[in-house]
Amino acid sequence: QQQVKQSPQSLIVQKGGISIINCAYENTAFDYFPWYQQFPGKGPALLIAIRPDVSEKKEGRFTISFNKSAKQFSLHIMDSQPGDSATYFCAASKSIGNQFYFGTGTSLTVIP
C-alpha cells in the first residue's frame, strides 16, 4: 500500500515554464514533507521541505504548497531550466521513528 501517491509519472516543460508535481498522503501522523531531486546515477538529495504548520515554503525558484485539510502537497518549479531535468520524489515522515515514505517519482524534462 503506497503511503504517498505522486503524480504525474513524467513531465515535459518548456524552458522558462512552471513545473508542478503533486503528492497526496493518508496518514495524518505525518509531520514532515520533503522533496528530493535525483540525477541519473546519483543518490537523491534534499531540495526543499515543509512542516504542516505552514501552507507554503519558497526557496529560490522552488516552492512547496501544502494543504493540510486535503492531505496534499505540491512542488512548483518556476522558470524551469534544462538543468532542472531530473527525477523528483516527494516523501513524508513522522518525526518520531524517522521512517520516510516516498512517492513513486516524477521524471522531469525541461526542453530548451
Partner 1 sequence: NAGVTQTPKFQVLKTGQSMTLQCAQDMNHEYMSWYRQDPGMGLRLIHYSVGAGITDQGEVPNGYNVSRSTTEDFPLRLLSAAPSQTSVYFCASSGLTDTQYFGPGTRLTVL
- Looking at 12-20, 56-64, 72-80, 101-109, which segment touches partner 1 (CB under 8 A)? 101-109
Taking the C-alpha atoms of residue 28 and residue 46, their distance in angstroms, rounded to an integer, is 22
Per-residue interface string for the shown chain with partner 1, residues 24-43, x marking contact by CB under 8 A: --------x-x-x----xxx
Q: In the complex with partner 1, which residue's Cβ is closer, 5 or 17?
A: 5
Query: Considering only residues 34-93, where is the footprint of partner 1 by CB under 8 A?
Result: 34, 36, 41-46, 49, 89, 91, 93
What does the buried/exposed string (b/e) look like for 51-82 if buried means 16 or more CB atoms within 10 Å of the residue's CB? eeeeeebeeeebbbbbeeeebebbbbbeebee
